[in-house]
Structure 1
Amino acid sequence: MPRISPWGSADEVFNGLEGTWDLVRTIEKQATMAGIAVFTPQHATMLKYREDGRIRLADGKELDAHREYRFERAAGGFAVYFEEEPPRLFHRIRIVRDADALAGSASHLCTPDTYDSAYRFLVDGSFTIRHTVRGPRKDYVSATVFRRRREP
């Protein structure tokens, strides 16, 4: 019997993103990252995403990193935009049920490379984002796990 997802329906996932998350990322054969991601409401249909963390490269070098996006509510999922003016679409995610999880995927051509992205919203309240990047300039998989930050 499938467990009940705390994410609700595909249309409710966007609401569950708001707040602070711990993130752990692995970039295949290149780096790892640990940090915090925050989804901040801009208005009823827009969340600003900002992640801050520390990257450890395969050679042991460490550096600070951050990234920003805009998430916009859409029927059955959401759209992700690069944080720039004017906003530029990264991808649209349509969410469907996948066993006990909710999931969505999309592709983005960043000429000449392609980003195939997969989101999974899990029954334990966490979610994952996996980007498989292929092309003449890039060839790697970036996998990130997000867990709701527990305040002490």
Structure 2
Amino acid sequence: MFPWCIMPDRPRCLPDFEGTWALNRRIEHSDGTLAHFDGQAIWVPDAEGLCQEESGTLRIGKGTPIVAKRRYLWRPELSVYFDDGRFFHDVPPLGGKAAHWCAPDRYDVIYDFASWPEFRVTWQVSGPRKSYRMDSTYRRTHG
């Protein structure tokens, strides 16, 4: 890991995310259903930036745990794409707000880098199809 990557008060850049992170996530649906995800997120170089893969165990309510995976593509300007190439959102380099519109639902996010190299991402999703709050904490495990 480069020494400047541990500085919490400077803008984040793509190399800051490369490596392995422990990932813990809590999802609270508007109907009161709770879900928890425990796993890891790994950012590895690809031809255009970094590929992020999240993998772990998802438990919805008291249900049987299931294996869950998701991939995203991160580009140098901190633009995030779904693994099929569709644009998702831009990550604010200093932390802060961003949004994604997936008709008819709206996805609002806040990135919090204040405790870098740990960071938090909070999504508030609202609309007729989806309504939940998702809080994720990433803790670096390997550079």
Q: Report if the CA contact (8 A) 2:9-2:114 is conserved.
A: no
Aligned to 2:10: 9
Alignment partner of 1:122 out of 101, 104, 114: 114
Gaps of 5+ in 2: 1-5
| Paired positions, count | 134
Identity of aligned residues (%): 34
Aligned to 1:137: 129
Compare relative contact order (CA 8 Å, sep 6+) and give the higher one, 1 or 2: 2
Gaps of 5+ in 1: 97-102
Q: Give the alignment's TM-score, normalised by structure 2.
A: 0.85
**Does 2:50 correspond to 1:47?**
yes
- The alpha-carbon distance between structure 1 residues 7 and 17, as it changes in their structure 2 partners (threshold 3 A), is farther
Q: Which amino acid aligns with 2:87?
A: L
**Does 2:30 correspond to 1:26?**
no
Which structure's residues are more often strand, by fraction? 1
Poorly superposed stretches of 4+, deviation over 3 Å: none
Aligned to 1:94: 92
Q: RMSD of aligned C-alpha atoms?
A: 1.8
- The alpha-carbon distance between structure 1 residues 123 and 110, as it changes in their structure 2 partners (threshold 3 A), is same
Aligned to 2:100: 108
Task: Please state how far the C-alpha of 1:51 moved relative to its aligned partner.
Answer: 0.7
